Amino acid sequence: MGALAQKNMSSAWGELGNVEGDVSVPSNGSPAIFPNDPNEYPAIAVDNWRAPPIFYGESVEIGMEELVAHLNDRYAGNGPGNQGACHNETLILGGYSQGADVVGWALRRHDLSQAAKDHIGYVALYGDPKFEPGSLYNRFFHANFDRDWWWVRGDDWGYRPWAAAMYVPVFTPFVPVPTIVPDSGILSPRTPYVPSEFKGRFGSWCALFDAICAGWFPFGQDVHSNAYQGGGGWIAQSVGEVVWAAGNKHNQLNPNNQVYVGSFTPPNAQTGPPAATTPPPPVITDVKRTTDHTGVRQVYAATNTAVTEAWWHPGQGVQKKEIIHIAQGNIVGFDKVNEPDGTTQSLYTAVPDGVWETWWRPNEGIHHNKIITGLSGVRQVIADPVVENGQYTHRLYILAQDGPYEAWWRDGGDGIHISRLDIVNDPVTMDKAKGPDGTEQLYVATPTYVYELWWRPGESVHHGEIIHISQGDIRGLDKGDNLSDGGQLLYTGTSTTAWQSYWLGSAPSHGTIAQGQTNAIQIEKDVYNGVHELYLATGDHVQEYWWNGPNSGTSELIRISQNNITAFDKSNDGADQQVYTASGDLVYETWWRAGVSPTSSVLFKVAR
């Protein structure tokens, strides 16, 4: 890593494990295998990664800690204008093999400061054991490749969709056995592989038949050792893209000291640098069905840049308008409520450092105000207003990188009050509910655990563990309705399974509703006419599971051949039931009722 070296620009580099320069190096100049300082990163050879004195996972953890600490210190606000001592510097991060694993994980660490991220001009990974080139479907057809697997470089099968299967000799060199080319690196991939904010300044190079990043272990160890080095290796071939992107970052950080970066066509781009290309179509990331005070049906769809409202009366055409546009393109979630005055509607839009409030009334236009700032790594917002002692209280629950926060205020009061309810590091989602006795409940999930926080007004917050799923990829939560006997239900979704947790005066017991899914992304629980319903979405379809006493069943509601479903919401209107499904820049409505099979059609399309 170091500053961009160009013309009269100074440059420097450092190697993880010796960024402080205090590690002794053998006289032959080769790096020390185990540094003197036990808190500095020692890489583990591929054929020694499970052997003492230090294990591979421990080594990666040490590397992450050292890298994050170094970057945070380098760009901490202790320089001119509180900008950081190295505020003019452009950083290039590079990692090979286990080093790529370390860098990849460090980018996802919640304690990596935004200042450090903002100074990164490019991240180049080579031979990453957690390399993720996308699905076989996308390798065949290149579907959504530029949008969803924009980091893929090199010549592994993920980048060459014309070859997805071949014959490989197994057991004997004389009898070829058909096999599928491995999907990804030798270790399970990071999910997501890289934070989306690094798009345009990140690439991961994997060589064909590489043992580590392409999964050809142990046959491709020589490829892993040789494909990246030398004048014809992937490191040398990546220099143009790295320097071009880092030069653009330098110009962004130093508007009065511009350097010429020329033109460059990144892989998978149509023409010219990314800024000169036609922007890709927007991708809806969240969708919510509501009604207004008069019963007008509404669907809100959020992309990373805007929230769009579609509304209609039954039997009439759909109208739409953009409620809020965030030019930074960093929307991470939203929620919508009707205020008790009978006319005001409010939308709360979450961005990484806080929440925007948007409100409107008939004939008064739309008003915006950023009401919460100063948070870090916000992931989600839930609006849950209440009436307390005859007073209407606005309440928001905000999930940030260090846990959930509660914000509340009253109209005409003394401003917004905000406090963190508990410390939960790196959470992924949450859900708000009330217990059978009216107790306030908030359920917060990390990739591996779901915790319950509960409290009564004026009392302290209690917390406990509901479920631990060692698979480590929890993606969705929904607190089911409380049962008539006081029992409680929580539904937890992973990429493969929907779990049901039940408790009544004792520790929760757990069972599964759906298993064997492929890349499940969201679950939602409902009860309709006394029938329990669980909805589960994967990339290509939404499935309904229902049960009522001894009777149960399942059916597919909608299938999207593009395999790009990102979110859905379930609603009921009298005898009709609906699911609203986000697919790319489209929202589909699927409706059905007793005796009528589901029918799907496009409801509306977002502009950005």
Span 588-604, pLDDT tens digits: 999 999 999 999 999 99
Cα–Cα dist 453/14, whole Å: 44
Q: Select from 603, 576, 581, 602 the least CA-distant residue to 591.
A: 576
Query: pLDDT band for position 177 (50/70/90)?
Result: very low
Per residue in 302-361, pLDDT (tens digit) is 999 999 999 998 878 899 999 999 988 899 999 999 999 899 999 999 999 999 999 999
pLDDT of residue 33: 45
What single DSSP character describes residue 72? H
pLDDT at 279 over 70: no
Per residue in 415-468, pLDDT (tens digit) is 999 999 999 999 999 999 999 999 999 999 999 999 999 999 889 999 999 999
Cβ atoms of 555 and 544 within 8 Å: the answer is yes
pTM of the model: 0.59
Query: pLDDT band for position 45 (50/70/90)?
Result: low
pLDDT at 169 over 60: no
Q: CA separation (Å) from 475 to 189, 480, 492, 581, 605?
A: 16, 16, 8, 17, 26
User: 385 preceded by cis ω (within 30°)?
Assistant: no
- Which stretches does DSSP call E strand in 303-448? 306-312, 319-325, 333-338, 345-351, 354-360, 366-372, 380-383, 386-388, 391-400, 403-409, 417-420, 429-434, 440-445
Q: CA separation (Å) from 76 to 92, 104, 383?
A: 17, 21, 34
Q: Indicate the residue type of 240.
A: G
Q: Select from 240, 256, 258 the least CA-distant residue to 248.
A: 258
